[in-house]
Amino acid sequence: MKQYKEDVADNPIVELIHVSLDQDEKAAEAWAAKESFPWPTVTMGKMKKSGLEAYSPRGIPNYKLIDKDGNVVAEGKGAVFQKVKELKKTEA
């Protein structure tokens, strides 16, 4: 949540999309409400239509950084947020 606020919330070139792999959408909703997730979510039933099923990881939790053309730029929480920080410096 802290990294989201620091590196994503006010960053015009990066957005975070949460893909919930909960089979039970009510469970996904309850979790998002409990944690007050500030980011948009794709629930499992809409994953295929969202185009994000193609990037499904082997295990969770997992982070991927994808460019607007669909290329995977980085994978793994550390690598993803490091790349985002680099992008912020480049943009500054």
Partner 1 sequence: MHMELKHLLAVGMAATIGIGALSARTWTSADGSKKFEGELKVFDKDGGKVTIIKRNGRSMTFDITKLSEGDQTFLNENAAGDAAAGGAENVQEALKAQKVGSKLSKRGILEKIDGKKFAKYELTKAPEFYIVYYSASW
Residue 36 within binding range of partner 1, rule CB under 8 A? yes
Candidate list 30, 76, 78, 85; residue touching partner 1; CB under 8 A: 30
Is 6 near partner 1 (CB under 8 A)? no
Residue 45 CB, nearest approach to partner 1 (Å): 10
Q: Which of 2, 5, 6, 37 binds partner 1 (CB under 8 A)?
A: 37
Radius of gyration of the chain (CA): 14
* List 1, 51, 82, 85, residue binding partner 1 (CB under 8 A): 51
CA 32 to chain centre: 14
Q: Do residues 63 and 75 make contact, with C-beta atoms less than 8 angstroms apart?
A: yes
Minimum CB separation from partner 1 for residue 2, in Å? 14
| CB crowding 7-18: b at 16 or more within 10 Å, else e | bbeeeeebebee
Kind and range of the H or E run holding 87:
helix 77-91
Cβ distance to partner 1 smaller for residue 5 or 30: 30
